[in-house]
Protein backbone atom coordinates (compact mmCIF):
# COMPACT_ATOMS: atom_id res chain seq x y z
CA UNK A 1 0.00 0.00 0.00
CA UNK A 2 1.16 3.50 -0.76
CA UNK A 3 2.30 5.63 2.15
CA UNK A 4 -0.30 8.03 3.49
CA UNK A 5 0.31 11.15 5.53
CA UNK A 6 3.18 13.50 6.15
CA UNK A 7 6.72 13.33 7.32
CA UNK A 8 6.48 16.07 9.92
CA UNK A 9 3.84 16.60 12.58
CA UNK A 10 3.58 18.98 15.47
CA UNK A 11 1.70 19.11 18.74
CA UNK A 12 1.61 22.36 20.63
CA UNK A 13 -0.72 21.61 23.56
CA UNK A 14 0.99 18.72 25.31
CA UNK A 15 0.41 18.43 29.06
CA UNK A 16 0.45 14.99 30.68
CA UNK A 17 -2.01 15.06 33.59
CA UNK A 18 -0.27 14.36 36.88
CA UNK A 19 -3.01 12.47 38.68
CA UNK A 20 -4.53 9.15 37.74
CA UNK A 21 -7.44 7.25 39.19
CA UNK A 22 -8.35 3.62 38.69
CA UNK A 23 -6.47 0.52 37.63
CA UNK A 24 -3.40 1.09 35.55
CA UNK A 25 -2.29 1.13 32.81
CA UNK A 26 -5.79 1.33 31.34
CA UNK A 27 -6.71 4.36 33.44
CA UNK A 28 -3.33 6.04 33.60
CA UNK A 29 -3.71 9.68 32.65
CA UNK A 30 -1.71 10.26 29.54
CA UNK A 31 -0.83 12.17 26.45
CA UNK A 32 -0.54 9.80 23.56
CA UNK A 33 -0.01 9.67 19.85
CA UNK A 34 -1.33 7.00 17.58
CA UNK A 35 0.89 6.62 14.53
CA UNK A 36 -0.41 4.93 11.40
CA UNK A 37 2.23 3.73 8.98
CA UNK A 38 0.59 2.50 5.80
CA UNK A 39 3.84 2.12 3.92
CA UNK A 40 5.57 -1.18 3.45
CA UNK A 41 8.66 -0.22 5.45
CA UNK A 42 9.24 0.63 9.06
CA UNK A 43 8.91 4.31 9.92
CA UNK A 44 11.60 5.74 12.14
CA UNK A 45 10.33 8.62 14.20
CA UNK A 46 12.45 11.30 15.83
CA UNK A 47 10.57 13.35 18.40
CA UNK A 48 11.77 16.59 19.92
CA UNK A 49 10.02 17.95 23.00
CA UNK A 50 9.82 21.72 23.52
CA UNK A 51 9.14 23.42 26.84
CA UNK A 52 8.11 26.87 27.97
CA UNK A 53 11.18 27.65 30.02
CA UNK A 54 14.08 25.44 28.98
CA UNK A 55 15.78 24.04 25.89
CA UNK A 56 14.21 21.35 23.78
CA UNK A 57 15.04 17.72 24.51
CA UNK A 58 15.47 15.00 21.95
CA UNK A 59 15.46 13.16 19.77
CA UNK A 60 13.30 10.44 21.21
CA UNK A 61 13.57 7.65 18.67
CA UNK A 62 10.65 5.34 18.04
CA UNK A 63 9.95 2.85 15.29
CA UNK A 64 6.60 1.94 13.81
CA UNK A 65 6.53 -1.19 11.68
CA UNK A 66 5.22 -1.06 8.12
CA UNK A 67 1.46 -1.37 7.74
CA UNK A 68 0.95 -1.07 11.47
CA UNK A 69 -0.44 1.41 13.94
CA UNK A 70 1.36 2.07 17.22
CA UNK A 71 0.24 4.03 20.24
CA UNK A 72 3.01 5.86 22.02
CA UNK A 73 2.46 7.38 25.44
CA UNK A 74 4.58 10.43 26.11
CA UNK A 75 4.52 9.29 29.74
CA UNK A 76 6.66 6.29 28.84
CA UNK A 77 9.40 8.04 26.89
CA UNK A 78 12.59 8.03 28.96
CA UNK A 79 15.40 8.31 26.41
CA UNK A 80 17.06 10.73 26.46
CA UNK A 81 15.06 11.86 29.49
CA UNK A 82 11.61 11.41 30.98
CA UNK A 83 9.05 14.12 30.29
CA UNK A 84 7.76 15.75 33.47
CA UNK A 85 4.09 15.23 34.18
CA UNK A 86 1.88 18.27 34.68
CA UNK A 87 4.00 20.56 32.53
CA UNK A 88 3.23 22.16 29.18
CA UNK A 89 5.14 20.86 26.21
CA UNK A 90 5.08 20.77 22.47
CA UNK A 91 6.31 17.99 20.23
CA UNK A 92 7.78 17.94 16.76
CA UNK A 93 7.57 14.51 15.20
CA UNK A 94 9.65 13.70 12.14
CA UNK A 95 9.32 10.44 10.27
CA UNK A 96 11.41 9.06 7.44
CA UNK A 97 8.28 7.90 5.59
CA UNK A 98 4.88 9.58 5.48
CA UNK A 99 2.70 8.62 8.44
CA UNK A 100 -0.53 9.79 10.03
CA UNK A 101 -0.38 11.00 13.62
CA UNK A 102 -3.32 11.47 15.94
CA UNK A 103 -2.86 13.03 19.35
CA UNK A 104 -5.06 12.26 22.33
CA UNK A 105 -5.20 12.90 26.05
CA UNK A 106 -6.86 10.86 28.73
CA UNK A 107 -7.26 12.65 32.05
CA UNK A 108 -8.42 10.27 34.73
CA UNK A 109 -7.54 12.31 37.80
CA UNK A 110 -9.47 12.37 41.04
CA UNK A 111 -11.98 14.65 39.35
CA UNK A 112 -12.13 12.96 35.98
CA UNK A 113 -12.25 15.26 33.04
CA UNK A 114 -13.13 14.38 29.53
CA UNK A 115 -10.87 12.54 27.20
CA UNK A 116 -9.59 14.60 24.30
CA UNK A 117 -8.76 13.42 20.85
CA UNK A 118 -7.49 15.69 18.14
CA UNK A 119 -5.41 15.56 15.05
CA UNK A 120 -1.86 16.77 15.25
CA UNK A 121 -0.78 19.44 12.80
CA UNK A 122 0.94 18.24 9.65
CA UNK A 123 2.89 20.47 7.35
CA UNK A 124 1.05 20.62 4.06
CA UNK A 125 3.88 21.52 1.81
CA UNK A 126 7.13 20.29 3.23
CA UNK A 127 9.91 21.67 1.09
CA UNK A 128 7.53 22.00 -1.80
CA UNK A 129 6.96 18.27 -2.12
CA UNK A 130 3.65 16.49 -2.33
CA UNK A 131 4.13 14.94 1.09
Given the rule CB under 8 A, which residues bind another protein? 18, 24-25, 28, 73, 75-86
DSSP string, 50-114: EESSS--EEEEEEEE-TTEEEEEEGGG--SS-PPPTTSEEEEEEEEEEEEEEEEEEE--SSS---
- Name the residue nearer to another protein (CB basis): 1 or 78: 78
Cβ at position 82, least distance to another protein in Å:
3
Cβ at position 128, least distance to another protein in Å:
34
Cβ at position 47, least distance to another protein in Å:
14
Which burial class, exposed, middle or buried, applies to 73 when counting CB atoms under 10 A from its CB (0-12, 13-18, 19+)? middle
Contact (CB, 8 A) for 30 and 74: yes
Cβ at position 18, least distance to another protein in Å:
6
Contact (CB, 8 A) for 27 and 20: yes
Cβ at position 35, least distance to another protein in Å:
18
Phi-psi region of 30 (alpha: psi -120 to 50; beta: other; left: phi over 0): beta
Amino acid sequence: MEAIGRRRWTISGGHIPLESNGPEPAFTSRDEIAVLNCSGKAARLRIHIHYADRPAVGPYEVEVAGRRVRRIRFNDLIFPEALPLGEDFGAVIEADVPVVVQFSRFDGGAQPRNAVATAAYAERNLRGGRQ
